[in-house]
Structure 1
Amino acid sequence: MKIIDKYILKRYLMTFVTMLLLFIPIGITIDVAEKVNKMIENRVPFSAIAQYYVDFTIYFANLLFPIFLFLSIIWFTSKLANNTEVVAILSSGISFQRFLKPYIIGASIVSVFALLMGFFLVPKASEGFKTFRYTYLIGNGQNEMRDNSDVFRQISENEYVYVSTYNPDSKMGFKFAMERFEGDRLKYKITAERIKFNEKDSTYSLFDYKKRKVGAFGDDIEIGMKKDTVFPFEVDELTPVVYIAETLNYFDLVKFIDKEKQRGSSNINVYLVVLYKKYSVPLSAFILTVIAVAVSSMKRRGGMGINLVIGIVIAFGFIFMDKVFGVMAEKASAPPIILVWLPNLIFGILAIYLLRNAKR
């Protein structure tokens, strides 16, 4: 690696880290100012608050990673251009493509770091961050953190469960139904006005229940006021927290998605979006690096300020599109992988266009 490569790579990484260290305390300060009243009101333990802000730092850094990276490159490359260092480098016979080499190396380092964080560290931080908010900061958060209405789950290859509403505080579900099929034939069906999970012995109590076994020469029907029984599912599996996918590391997430596909989960697109973003966000480091260098490597009349304005517009445009297409991927019938990767595709084309103009 040549001296010029080490010089640019050092500036790349140091500016990116400095940008993180500058903005994260600002984010924490704003968050404390907004939530301090709620924390005092709910008498949140100091240890829980301290852990929350550790998780908040990781969550916040991962969320705004593209903006931090983009603005840091715009900042130090604009300084190089204003000091005519870029002109001197290119005038010495180094091609623009060769000039990009240390930037690509820097993007590779940042991408690998972001990928590993997204696979293993961010899920743990997301769990702590979201759980704290639902527990202490959101009214009735313990109920809102679960999808408790019209729950339909496939608990095995042939068995299906439905609950109209579920109350996690009382462990009580209403309008319960369970069906077992063999092929396309119904073998038995259990319905109950209420179902309650008993934590002491991990059993379920059915109230006002009806059990119907389908026979070849007639149906066997059992009706009763109460029945204690065991079912092959955990109560938490019946109504997982709404952000469950964000709290799982990569390998657990892949297993969880496979299991949810077998169960016919209605939230499968939400889980797939989380999985695909683990790859798409690190790749965006390369695209945003090329765009930032192409925008900021030329000396402009307005100086560094013009480059920063252009950079901020592009960075927030990327974040906006990423969020919009992410929501669309969760709700639309189109394959989620296409919508999740669309911002990278659009900005990748923009990167190629800007790079060609920068070379000229």
Structure 2
Amino acid sequence: MKTLDRYLLREALDLFAGGLAVLVLLFLAGAVYEVLAPLVAKGADPYTLLLYLLYRTPEAVVRGAPVAYLFALLLLLSRMAEDAELKALLALGVRRERVLWPFLLLGSGIALFAFLLGESLVPRSLAQGQDLLRRQVLERPRALLTPGATFQDARGRVVYVGEVKGEEIGELRVLSREEVLLAQRGRFQGGVLRVEEGLRATYEGDRPRTLTRFQRGELYLKDLTFEPWQNPANRMGLAELREEVARLRALGVKAGLEATTYYRRFAEPASALVFALFAVGLAFYLLGGSRSLGLVGVAVLTFFYYATWSVGRIMGEQNALNPILAAWGPNLLYGALGLLLFLGGRR
């Protein structure tokens, strides 16, 4: 490896590491925001929250690595253009292809790392994070175990807690327009409130219709079936995803969510290679007019990719766009622009 390669890789890696750290923190902050209210309401301790964030970290790294690489390359090449380093390289006979090569090499390493991490660790860590919430928080609703507490079950009925005895609750009332349930005691178990020794009265308008007694019953609680991830396909491996897409399509279902997730597993890591071409092409194109991006331009282009990626993902998952185009569209856009800029830039 020559001196130029070592210099470019060292500078890019430093900026990439800093950008990735910031993006991971932002991603985890968003993850905390998704679940903070349910966690606090159900009495989560700081250890549970930290462990949950640990399970979300691999996903944050995979999602943030390509974007951090784009930010790092744009910032590095913009700085090199402002310091006349790119002009000096051209004056010494160094071709643009020679500058592009080490960035493509580094991008290949980042893409391979993100792909392997996304296929191996990310699905397992997301599943473990979900299990953590259900096991330690959602199935042990400490905040609900207070006299006078009210909440809803999965059918929208209001549940009133009149008495608390350790882990048991008593004097329960379940109210709706059509019926009233009274139970002597109950216990939370596995996202279900199991009640015993109760009375059920049904109504037709304002008039009682039936009155029955029961020994045992189950109420599925809305608050205890909290799902922080709207896309369960993120917790599947590629083989499982491929089988699920084939199964749904065999049933006549479009399977936009699963198919888009499947193709994104390849498209997102591969974007690191596309970003190398785009960043180098843009830097040498602007060099012809003695211009540079600056920090604002770098931030805008990075955000624009994230915006196109988000729009494509949503449209693909909602079957408004072909899943392949939804996943690969941002890469095709930046790749085409990068190639045009690279071919038309200063030599």
Class of the TM-score when normalised by the shorter of the 2 chains: 0.5 to 0.7
Q: 1:71 to 1:51 in 2, by over 3 A?
A: same
Out of 271, 292, 313, which is 2:300 matched to? Answer: 313
Q: CA deviation at 1:47?
A: 3.9
Aligned counterpart, 2:39: 39
Query: Equivalents in 2 of 1:141, 1:322: separation in Å?
Result: 37
Ranges in structure 1 where 5+ consecutive residues have no aligned partner: 145-167, 172-240
Aligned counterpart, 2:313: 326
Aligned counterpart, 2:256: 269
Pairwise CA RMSD of aligned residues?
A: 3.7
3-state DSSP of counterpart to 1:93: coil
Q: 1:35 to 1:340 in 2, by over 3 A?
A: closer
Out of 255, 260, 268, which is 1:281 matched to? Answer: 268
Moved more, 118-127 or 97-106: 118-127
Query: Equivalents in 1 of 2:49, 2:129: separation in Å?
Result: 10
Query: Equivalents in 2 of 1:249, 1:101: separation in Å?
Result: 32
Aligned counterpart, 2:338: 351
Aligned counterpart, 2:59: 59
Query: Equivalents in 1 of 2:325, 2:44: separation in Å?
Result: 42
Q: CA deviation at 1:99?
A: 1.5
Q: CA deviation at 1:299?
A: 5.9
Q: Are 2:238 and 1:250 aligned?
A: yes
Q: CA deviation at 1:281?
A: 0.8
Aligned counterpart, 1:212: none
Aligned residues between the structures: 265
Q: CA deviation at 1:284?
A: 1.2
Q: Are 2:1 and 1:13 aligned?
A: no
Q: Residue type of the partner of 1:21?
A: A
Q: CA deviation at 1:286?
A: 1.4
Query: Does the aligned pair in 2 maintain the 1:261–1:268 contact within 8 Å?
Result: yes
> What percent of counterpart residues are identical?
21
* Residues 157-213 of structure 1, C-alpha deviations (whole Å, 9 max, x = no match): xxxxxxxxxxx9679xxxxxxxxxxxxxxxxxxxxxxxxxxxxxxxxxxxxxxxxxx
Q: CA deviation at 1:347?
A: 1.8
Q: 1:249 to 1:31 in 2, by over 3 A?
A: closer
Q: CA deviation at 1:111?
A: 0.8
Q: CA deviation at 1:11?
A: 1.9
Q: Residue type of the partner of 1:86?
A: L
Q: Residue type of the partner of 1:66?
A: P
Query: Equivalents in 2 of 1:245, 1:31: separation in Å?
Result: 17
3-state DSSP of counterpart to 1:359: coil
Aligned counterpart, 1:106: 106
Q: Are 2:92 and 1:92 aligned?
A: yes
3-state DSSP of counterpart to 1:100: helix
Aligned counterpart, 2:175: none
Q: CA deviation at 1:296?
A: 3.7
Q: Residue type of the partner of 1:16?
A: F
* Residues 49-102 of structure 1, C-alpha deviations (whole Å, 9 max, x = no match): 222111232223333333311111122222222332222222111111111111
Q: 1:34 to 1:342 in 2, by over 3 A?
A: closer
Q: Residue type of the partner of 1:286?
A: L
